[in-house]
Structure 1
Amino acid sequence: MDAPSPGRDELADSLLAAARALMAMAIRTIGQGAVPLTEVQHRVLLLLEAAGTLSVNQVAERLGVDQSNASRHCTRLAELGLVQRTPAARDRRAVDLRLTEAGHGQVLEVRSARRRWAADVLARLSDEEARAAVRGLEMFATAAEETDKESQVESRRSFSRARPSD
Structure 2
Amino acid sequence: MQQSEEPGDDLVDAVMTASRALLAVVVRSLAAVDEDVTLPQYRALVVLAQRGRVRPAELAAALAVTPPTCTRMCGRLEAKGLVVRERPAGDRRAVDVSLSPAGRDLVDDVSRRRRDELRTLLAGVPTGRRAAVVEGLRSLAEAAGEVPEPDWAVSGVAR
Calculate the TM-score normalised by the size of structure 1: 0.78
- Residue number in structure 2 paired with 1:131: 131
Matched residue, 2:104 = 104
1:115 equivalenced with 2:111 (yes/no): no
1:10 aligned residue: 10
Tell me what 1:73 maps to: 73
**Paired position in structure 1 for 2:141:** 141
Q: Deviations over 1:104-133 (max 9, x none)?
A: 100001001110111011111222222321
Partner of 1:47 in structure 2?
Answer: 47
How big is the shift at 1:35?
A: 5.9
Runs of 5+ consecutive residues of structure 1 not aligned to the other structure: 147-166
Q: Please give the residue correspondences for 1:142-157 in structure 2 after superposition, counting only pairs within 5 Å.
A: 142-145=142-145
Q: In 2, distance between residues paired with 1:47 and 1:2?
A: 29
Aligned to 2:153: none
The one of the two structures with greater contact order (alpha-carbon pairs below 8 A, sep at least 6) is 2
CA contact (8 A) 1:30 1:36 kept: no
Task: Tell me, yes or no, if the aligned pair for 1:32 and 1:109 is still in contact at 8 Å.
Answer: no
State the alpha-carbon separation in 2 of the partners of residues 65 and 27 from structure 1: 21
Report whether the alignment pairs 1:36 with 2:36.
Answer: yes
Q: CA deviation at 1:67?
A: 0.7
What SS does the corresponding residue of 1:32 show, helix, strand or coil?
Answer: helix
> 1 CA distance for matches of 2:98 and 2:35?
17
Kindly name which structure, 1 or 2, has the bigger radius of gyration based on alpha carbons. 1
Tell me the distance in 1 between the aligned counterparts of 2:21 and 2:107: 21
Distance change in 2, residues 1:106/1:4 (3 Å):
closer
Q: Distance in 2 between matches of 1:14 and 1:143?
A: 16
Alpha-carbon deviation of 1:4?
4.2
Query: Deviation above 6 Å: which 4+ runs of structure 1?
Result: none
The unaligned stretches of length 5 or more in structure 2 are 147-159
